[in-house]
Amino acid sequence: METTLIILKPDAVQRGLMGRIITRFEDKGLQIVGCKLMKISQQLAATHYEAHKEKGFYPGLVKFMTSSPVLVMALRGNGAITIARNMMGATFGSKANPGTIRGDFGVSNSFNLIHGSDSPEAAERELKLFFNQGEVLDFPRAIEGWVYDMSGGKIE
């Protein structure tokens, strides 16, 4: 099982899309194991996006991400990183396929609604930035056997 960080960005929060996006992840079978509404500080945004510091879009990105509350979630599931990123769609809403979060809800090439970790290493780093020890929970779900085929004794 993988755990990934998802951030519903200020535009998703301001547009009232949180519930609709969360529903998509839950409908897919991913488990929410951590969730909080927060305002990202300048320092946290700078740390989170440090890989982009030298890029021209960096100042605007930090300004955008600190402009309004965001919803951060830890999602868990078999292949959660790839599944979540496929559900998100292409980076720019204008280029994202219908049926994806960005394709259905976004048209902007600046405001793209959602962030998701792009690798297990990034997920581990990012989860530690946004969640304190004990805030990402580990608990069984009664539906697990209906989400995954475990007839062979393990998750397919």
CA-nearest of 46, 82, 83, 86 to 66 is: 46
| Annotated active-site residue in 9, 76, 102, 115 | 115
Is 115 annotated as catalytic?
Answer: yes
Pinpoint the alpha helices (H) of the chain: 10-14, 18-28, 42-48, 58-65, 80-88, 101-105, 120-130, 144-147
Q: Which two tokens stand for residue 33?
A: 């194991």
Q: Report, as residue numbers or ranges, the catalytic residues.
A: 115
